Amino acid sequence: ARCQCKVAPRERKNCGYPGISAVECRKAGCCFEASGSSLSRCFAPKPKKVRKVCPNNPDTRRNCGFPGITAKECERKGCCFRAYPAGVPWCFYHRVVEQ
């Protein structure tokens, strides 16, 4: 995303080699800026902002527990717990979504 490439020149971490083209830089998953010093033209993007959420759709739950697991045991494993509906995992993994 474009916002991931808004990195101050002094904070840029080199991501290419001298003379790298914009196409090759972007193919490597990096940001390219034609202006500025030649050392920081191809640079690493900011990390994506993500957060963990408990999926609302019971059909997308991935089991994280075992039959009879308690809410406390499930949450101790770092997972989500919802004791409903029947027939789907009640202890399940988070989903990671971009912000």
- Distances in whole angstroms, Cα of residue 83 to Cα of each of 10, 20, 42, 75, 97: 51, 54, 49, 13, 23
Residue 2's Cβ-side half-sphere holds a number of Cα atoms within 13 Å equal to 0
For 23, counting Cβ atoms within 10 Å of its Cβ (0-12 exposed, 13-18 middle, 19+ buried), the class is exposed
* Six token digits for residue 77: 């494993």
Banded pLDDT at 18 (limits 50, 70, 90): confident
Contact call for residues 5 and 36 (beta carbons, < 8 A): no
Instruction: Let me know if the fold of 9-43 is the same as that of 50-98.
Output: yes
Domain-by-domain residue ranges, the chain? Answer: 9-43, 50-98
Banded pLDDT at 39 (limits 50, 70, 90): low
* Six token digits for residue 97: 């979504």
The pTM (predicted TM-score) of the whole model is 0.53
CATH class of 50-98: few secondary structures
Banded pLDDT at 97 (limits 50, 70, 90): confident
Please give the Cα distance from 70 to 55 (Å, whole number).
19
Q: What is the pLDDT of residues 51-64, one digit of tens each?
A: 889 998 999 999 99
CATH class of 9-43: few secondary structures
